[in-house]
């Protein structure tokens, strides 16, 4: 980004890099490592934590770093970082506790594990960059409360659709246009996809089958649009969003015709998506303007006659842009996308097939549930089950295919941090439960 590149070059020239610790070493983490080590000046990816250290070693090797160190104590890790060495560890607490590290990058996609990492990092006064929409959507608002109290930044990333959409949102607002719909452009939507159906695609692109299943079954886009809603104050117009399907030749400039509500009259604006539009896979915003003189100029600049104007970014580059988020947090205290408005939209668990009492729910992007967006106050009032906490819950009754689960339908596992934080989030924003943040 403009300004960020100048600041990073200055840090590099002064030999004062932003020191980063990364938790996770999957496909996205490997791409981020390549960027930080080989292509983006001003960073030192000092340490990577993963429960299988061998994959963290492989991550460094793919980025051209041979034989990273394997420190076994905090003292050894801190000494290695001070010497600008690269390290791999299995305990993420070593990264969170290191005074040498400026930013913790959490790239696991795991909710319970990620909750521990992010909470610890915030408690230790670290800026936290998450590439974990699942965690962010589920308990991001309460984590932001803790981050604010510690004076650190909690943010999701540039490059992924929510961050790209938030950057576009800020641009549109900045030129005086009022955003009324923040949209995502998808190529496929089928809630009944499973790791079995997506196995070939996952192998082709070296991704995990559950992850690519969450893309196909609509869970991931639900998490992503929940993030956008929580950052902007927008809501959904219906459970699951509208998600119209259009011909691939239909350009996103025509999106104003695809939604069955008067977007100009919606109080908060909405988040939604479209399947099949061009150019994809990108993001778009529909906005309005009240000034006749400015509407004249918008028409002059080929944006049409209104009342809805279309703005779009035709791509998202995921790991290629994460370094911008790290720099924005560390150098400018500017989050790319963070739940400024608290919980506005949540993601609820819905049955992919008929489920039986006594079954234990599997994870996101697996065989039993898919996620749908719902307004957070409705989720609270109806006691619906967020899909972010659904894994390992035991069903207490039979559930029909496509039925949305409630908290009364399951027994939660005992002792999970995510449930504690979710209870605190309800207390802070909806006035019920155990309030912990002061």
Q: What is the predicted pLDDT for the residue at 388?
A: 98
Q: How confident is the model at residue 436 (pLDDT cuts 50, 70, 90)?
A: low
- Please state the rounded mean pLDDT for residues 153-173: 97
Residue 158, helix vs strand vs coil: coil
Residue 435 has pLDDT above 80, yes or no: no
Question: Is residue 190 within 8 Å of residue 216, measured between CB atoms?
Answer: yes
Sequence-ordered list of residues with C-beta below 8 angstroms from that of 5, at least 6 positions apart, any chain? none
DSSP one-letter code for 201: H
- Please state the rounded mean pLDDT for residues 250-261: 95
Q: How far apart are CA 111 and CA 103, in angstroms?
A: 19
Residue 9 has pLDDT above 90, yes or no: yes
Q: How far apart are CA 147 and CA 165, in angstroms?
A: 23
How, if at all, do strands 270-275 and 178-186 pair? parallel
Pull the structure tokens for residue 177: 């246009």
Question: Is residue 197 within 8 Å of residue 346, measured between CB atoms?
Answer: no
Q: What is the predicted pLDDT for the residue at 275?
A: 97
Structural domains in the chain? 4-155 (3.40.50.720), 161-317 (no CATH), 345-430 (3.90.1210.10)
Q: Kindly report the pTM of this predicted structure.
A: 0.96
| Nearest alpha carbon to residue 34 among 316, 325, 322 | 322
Q: What is the mean pLDDT of the chain?
A: 96
Q: How far apart are CA 407 and CA 383, in angstroms?
A: 6
Number of H helices, E strands in the chain: 15, 14
R_g of the chain computed on alpha carbons: 22
Q: What is the predicted pLDDT for the residue at 280?
A: 82
- Please state the rounded mean pLDDT for residues 146-163: 97
| Nearest alpha carbon to residue 277 among 245, 321, 305, 239 | 245
| Nearest alpha carbon to residue 384 among 417, 416, 415, 422 | 422
Per-position DSSP letters for 301-316, written without gaps between them: TTS-S-SSEEEEE---
- 91 CB neighbour count, 10 Å cutoff: 13
- Please state the rounded mean pLDDT for residues 410-417: 98
Q: What is the predicted pLDDT for the residue at 306?
A: 95
- Please state the rounded mean pLDDT for residues 277-288: 94
Residue 206: is it exposed, middle or buried by C-beta count within 10 angstroms (0-12/13-18/19+)?
exposed
| Nearest alpha carbon to residue 47 among 17, 68, 26, 29 | 68
Return the higher-pLDDT residue of 57 and 281: 57
Q: How far apart are CA 398 and CA 55, in angstroms?
A: 40
Question: Is residue 128 within 8 Å of residue 155, measured between CB atoms?
Answer: yes
- 46 CB neighbour count, 10 Å cutoff: 25
% the chain with pLDDT above 70: 98
Return the higher-pLDDT residue of 264 and 205: 264
Tens of pLDDT along 359-387? 999 999 999 999 999 999 999 999 999 99
Residue 391 has pLDDT above 60, yes or no: yes
Which residue matches tokens 């800020």?
Answer: 170
Q: What is the predicted pLDDT for the residue at 206?
A: 79
Residue 360: φ, ψ to 5° = -100, 125
Residue 251 has pLDDT above 80, yes or no: yes
| Nearest alpha carbon to residue 103 among 42, 14, 159 | 42
Tens of pLDDT along 78-123? 999 999 999 999 999 999 999 999 999 999 989 999 999 999 999 9
Q: How confident is the model at residue 433 (pLDDT cuts 50, 70, 90)?
A: low
Q: What is the predicted pLDDT for the residue at 2?
A: 81
Q: What is the predicted pLDDT for the residue at 248?
A: 82
Tens of pLDDT along 303-356? 999 999 999 999 999 999 999 999 999 999 999 999 999 999 999 999 999 999
Residue 241: φ, ψ to 5° = 65, 170
Q: How far apart are CA 49 and CA 40, in angstroms?
A: 21
């Amino acid at each position: 980004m403009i300004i960020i590149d100048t600041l990073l070059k200055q840090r590099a020239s002064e030999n004062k890099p932003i020191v980063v610790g990364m938790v996770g070493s999957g496909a996205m983490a490997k791409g981020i490592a390549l960027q930080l080590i080989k292509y983006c000046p001003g960073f030192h990816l000092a340490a990577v934590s993963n429960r299988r250290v061998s994959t963290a070693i492989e991550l460094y090797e793919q980025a051209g770093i041979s034989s990273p160190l394997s420190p076994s104590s905090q003292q050894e890790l801190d000494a290695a970082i001070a010497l600008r060495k690269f390290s791999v560890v299995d305990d993420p607490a070593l990264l969170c506790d290191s005074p040498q590290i400026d930013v913790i990058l959490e790239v696991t996609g795991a909710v319970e594990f990620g909750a521990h990492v992010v909470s610890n990092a915030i408690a230790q006064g670290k800026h936290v960059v998450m590439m974990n929409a699942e965690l962010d959507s589920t308990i991001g608002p309460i984590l932001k409360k803790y981050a604010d109290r510690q004076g650190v930044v909690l943010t999701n990333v540039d490059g992924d659709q929510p961050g790209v959409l938030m950057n576009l949102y800020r641009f549109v607002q900045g030129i005086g246009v009022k955003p009324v719909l923040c949209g995502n452009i998808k190529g496929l939507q089928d809630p009944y996809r499973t790791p079995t159906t997506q196995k070939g695609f996952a192998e082709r692109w070296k991704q995990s089958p559950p992850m690519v299943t969450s893309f196909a079954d609509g869970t991931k886009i639900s998490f992503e649009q929940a993030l956008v809603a929580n950052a902007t104050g927008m809501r959904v117009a219906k459970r699951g969003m509208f998600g119209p399907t259009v011909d691939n030749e239909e350009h996103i400039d025509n999106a104003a015709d695809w939604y069955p509500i008067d977007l100009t009259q919606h109080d908060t604006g909405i988040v939604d998506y479209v399947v099949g539009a061009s150019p994809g896979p990108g993001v778009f915003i529909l906005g309005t303007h009240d000034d006749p003189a400015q509407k004249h100029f918008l028409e002059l600049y080929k944006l049409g006659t209104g009342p809805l104007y279309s703005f779009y970014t035709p791509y998202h580059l995921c790991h290629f842009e994460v370094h911008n988020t790290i720099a924005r947090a560390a150098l400018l205290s500017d989050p790319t996308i963070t739940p400024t408005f608290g919980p506005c939209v949540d993601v609820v668990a819905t049955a992919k097939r008929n489920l039986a009492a006594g079954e234990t729910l599997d994870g996101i992007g697996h065989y039993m549930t898919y996620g749908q967006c719902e307004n957070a106050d409705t989720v609270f009032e109806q006691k619906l089950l967020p899909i972010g906490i659904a894994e390992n819950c035991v069903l207490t009754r039979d559930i029909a295919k496509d039925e949305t689960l409630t908290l009364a339908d399951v027994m939660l596992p005992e002792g999970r941090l995510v449930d504690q934080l979710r209870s605190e989030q309800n207390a802070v924003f909806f006035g019920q439960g155990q309030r912990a943040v002061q």
